[in-house]
Amino acid sequence: MLAYFKLYFKPDSFEKGYSLAIQSGREGARLTHNHERQYHYVLQSLTLWREISTDMFKLWYLAEQDLLQEGNSYRLTDTGQGLNRVQSAPRVSRAMQNILSRCQHQIGSWVG
């Protein structure tokens, strides 16, 4: 998907009818981004998901370690979607921070 995106879209130009620009309130968009900004947002999103999926088994293993860590019990919390069990996941958090940092370094700029 990332290769196709880079092949068919460029940040500084687009063919008529193929702009990635979005405008708040139009077709469900909540933000306004010009083509270039939206290009970088899509690029970072696809890159982030590629890195997460590459490390999925590692993240799964770390989640199991966090869940089973002695003394790391859950709290029953109203999350806005009812009462849910919420537990800290320091290993997963550290791994996700590393993934995010790696993506930001690869891309160079970050939209959000």
Going by pLDDT thresholds of 50, 70 and 90, the confidence category of residue 8 is very high
Give me the phi and psi of 3, to 5 degrees please.
-65, -45
Going by pLDDT thresholds of 50, 70 and 90, the confidence category of residue 40 is very high
Q: What percent of the chain has pLDDT over 90?
A: 86
DSSP 46-81: HHHHHHHHHTHHHHHHHHHHHHH-TT---EEEE-SS
Q: What is the mean predicted confidence (pLDDT) over 27-32?
A: 85
Going by pLDDT thresholds of 50, 70 and 90, the confidence category of residue 109 is confident
What pLDDT does 29 receive? 83
